Every structure is written in C-alpha cells, then in structure tokens.
Structure 1
C-alpha cells in the first residue's frame, strides 16, 4: 500500500486497497487478522466502509473477520501524524499559509541548539501490511481423571 499523493501529509494519510478473500477463509471457526506491521502513531481501519477499529500500540493488528465477505473487499487505513510533524511542517511555510496558530516560532534556539533544527519524526504506515487467516483451535483444560 502506498500513499499515492507523493507528498508529506501533516495531518493524516489515507491508504486504500482492494483485495479478494477466498470463501474458505470465512466461517465460524476461522479468523482473519489485519496486521499493519509498523505504524507511527495510530491508525483506524475500515473494511467495506465500516470501522473495524483503532490500533495504537504493537502489535498493530485487528480481527477483521466480521467485516469481510467472500470475493472483493475494500480496505481503507487512516494513519494519524504526530503533532510535532504538523508544527515542524508549518514552520517551513510562510505565516499566511500555515495550518496551525502556535506560539512556536522559527527560532529553534529555545528548544534546540541552532545546529539542530526541528525535523519531522518517522510517521505513517511503514508495514509490511499482511492478512493472516487462522483456524480457531479449542484446547480442553479438563484435568485427566486419576492424575495430580
């Protein structure tokens, strides 16, 4: 999945993908998880137009079984950016084009030495993104008779 806008987004990025699900992946004893790999910092997952949840800590994984249908499915992932990146991006723009109104100025010396200007932190959907299909297995926890 790629961000097709080809630019840095300082609010959120939206990733879209169409994929096919085999019928044998679906059923009461099956689970399908969407594993996003590495995400910075949080993401909301939509499957076939419905929110399937928000992931905000490792593992960035959600059970999407109940949102899937056999055949063609639509996936949308919205990844939120860090506020520091929004502020850093704004500082590079002329004041009249900035998104935020902040008391943080282009003079970095208050927070960083002049040799270290603010820079964007790693952010976004880094992946790899994978669909994981599994079969539910029930383990019997009853103690066997006559054993201790």
Structure 2
C-alpha cells in the first residue's frame, strides 16, 4: 500500500490510474449474500437464472462496487477524506469467473466551503475482462490545500 501526501493543488485533471484485475468467484457471491442478507435468486439460484435473459447467476452490484473500491485503495492519501459516492450505476452484469479491473480518472476540481480544502471528483469505471464497462460512479474527496485561500 502506497501512502503519499497529495494536496488539492497536486491533483491533475484527466490523470488516470488503472488497478490490477480480480476474478469474481462463487465464494465471493455466497459470502456477500451472507453478509448482506441479499439472497435474491439472481445471485443464488442457478436454475431460476436459466429462465432469465442473463441465463446464469450474476454478482451483486454492491459486491462489485465493494471490490472495485477496494482495488483503488492501494494508494492512500492522508490529506484527503472521502465524502462519498455519486451517480452509482450498475451498467452490465458480472458473472462468476469474470475478472474486473478499475480505472480512476480525476474529472473535477472545485473550491470547498472550507477555504483550507478543495473538492476533487474521481470518476470510477469498472470493466470486465472484455473491457466492457460494468459499473461507474463518482468518488468525492475533500482534500487539504497546501495553503489556505
């Protein structure tokens, strides 16, 4: 895990980083169902899924979100605080055996109500092994300035 101080002024628009991949397993899905209580047949019932348009079990969107954000946590900035996530979308299903990777792009920088900080938006996109997008969202960060305005 890389720990590096990065201040608001250090963030560059359009800077992109890409994570390594991670394969989603049946164990991931079963454990996530147990942790969340989401035992919907889309995730747990292979026979029911055969009758649906996707024809096989799909991973929980919240599982893919959790794994993707975990993938991005290889870089820790002690000068930034996560404010949350906006515009979260589950775009395409993820199946058992799919390998996902995450791309983070600095998409916005703006002033914050506290003059000692700025707000940075990281656009997060998750892709499967075929480079098909499966999830997108915006991560909002409140980041300390080098010098107060």
What is the TM-score with the length of structure 1 in the denominator?
0.30
Q: Which has the larger radius of gyration?
A: 1
Q: Return the structure number with greater helix share.
A: 2
What is the TM-score with the length of structure 2 in the denominator?
0.30
